[in-house]
Amino acid sequence: MSENLLEIKNIDVTFKTRHGILKAIDNLSLSVNKGEILGLVGESGAGKSMTGAAILGLIDPPGRLSSGQIWYKGQRIDQAPETIRGHEISMIFQDPLVSLNPLRRIGDQLVETILTHMPITKYEAIERARKGLEEVGIDPERINAYPHTFSGGMRQRVVIALALAPEPALIIADEPTTALDVSVQAQILDLLKRLCRERGTSIILVTHDMGVIAETTDRVGVLYAGRLAEIGDTRDILTNPKHPYTKGLVASTPRIDASSFDKTLYQISGSMPKLDAMPCGCAFHPRCEFVLDKCRSDIPSIIANRAACWLLDKEESLL
């Protein structure tokens, strides 16, 4: 069993507002192993970006990590996340336009990142920067170019190079390809996969796209209204989902299939509850086809290491 690189234990992220305390993330626990790609999938407002931000301590007031612990390589980091930021854990954001400083050459940004985290000379840093660019498929001669001279896909490659430069053990990629065309998206995802396999870097890939999850990740966690609904091996979850929400998500994802024209897409009725109007018990129960009485009152925790659903509990107890 590979050691757990990152462990999130029962974290809560809360926001203090005029209307009371809202929980953006509720009792979330998950772990990332060395060298694996973990997907975090969910719809808007489910809390997936918030999870990435929580790991790196990037949550701004009035939000805060109000309970729980985050362990990295056996050390607690939730109290002092700045120590591991960049060097051990780095982040890739969605919009390459705002991730790069438009006034600085990409070489300068790369070198600065490298020098911040590694005690080497500037000359060595420049060499590393050039190699980094080569690895992501950018001509190292362009090291002195400005970001606006690159296309969206190329800029995202630069951002990946920036994220990889300090040789982190974990990269959090927050919707890295959502703003890109489909063809470019495929290239970027392949690049990420390849580089991480080669270096043994782990990735947390945050996205709303089930197709991206299917093609890129080893394991996946499904978030709903700030809570973890299901977690497990990607193939397993997508072919045999246990949580009714996951089932609904998978069924309503359109596929490239000529015969789907005459059929109506499966749809989950209703919509995800807002944080200030959370239902009692299971957050999904008002929309669930298989709802039990228990679901209306008791919040399920992850059962059988798989899904937060009382149906699983029934299954288990029947065995």
Partner 1 sequence: MSFVVAKNLTRNYDLSDPLIVRALTMRPKRILTAVDDVNFSIEKGTTYALVGESGSGKSTIAKMAVGLLKPSVGTLIVDGKNLNDPALAREDQLALRRRIQMVFQSPYASLNPRWRVGDIIAEPIKAFCLIDGIKAQSMRVSELLEQVGLAPSDATKYPHEFSGGQRQRISIARALSSQPEVIVCDEPTSALDVSVQAQVLNLLKALQKEYALTYLFITHDLAVVSTMANKIGVLNKGRLVEEQSPAGLFSRPQQDYTKMLLNAAPSINFD
Does residue 235 belong to the site contacting partner 1 (CB under 8 A)? yes
Q: Which of 11, 111, 143, 189 touches partner 1 by CB under 8 A?
A: 189
Q: Which of 238, 283, 295, 308 touches partner 1 by CB under 8 A?
A: 238
Pick out residues in 197-216 that bind partner 1 (CB under 8 A).
Answer: 208-216
Q: How far apart are CA 68 and CA 131, in angstroms?
A: 40
Q: Which of 58, 126, 268, 278 touches partner 1 by CB under 8 A?
A: 268
214 vs 291, beta carbon nearer partner 1 = 214
Task: Pick the piece of the chain touching partner 1 (CB under 8 A) from 7-15, 65-73, 113-121, 185-193.
Answer: 185-193
Query: CB within 8 A of 170, min separation 6: which ones?
Result: 5, 6, 32, 72, 88, 89, 90, 201, 202, 203, 204
Smallest separation (angstroms) from partner 1 to the CB of 197: 18
Q: How far apart are CA 55 and CA 70, in angstroms?
A: 7
Asked if 216 and 39 count as a contact pair (C-beta separation under 8 A), the reply is yes
65 vs 238, beta carbon nearer partner 1 = 238
140 vs 152, beta carbon nearer partner 1 = 152
7 vs 209, beta carbon nearer partner 1 = 209
Does residue 249 belong to the site contacting partner 1 (CB under 8 A)? yes
Q: Which of 79, 83, 252, 297 touches partner 1 by CB under 8 A?
A: 252
- Residues in contact with partner 1, total (CB under 8 A)? 40
Pick out residues in 12-51 that bind partner 1 (CB under 8 A).
Answer: 43-44
129 vs 222, beta carbon nearer partner 1 = 222
Query: CB within 8 A of 163, min separation 6: which ones?
Result: 90, 91, 92, 171, 173
Does residue 257 belong to the site contacting partner 1 (CB under 8 A)? yes
Does residue 233 belong to the site contacting partner 1 (CB under 8 A)? no
Q: Which residues sit at the interface with partner 1, rule CB under 8 A?
A: 43-44, 181-183, 185-186, 189, 208-216, 235, 238-239, 248-250, 252-258, 260-261, 263-269, 271
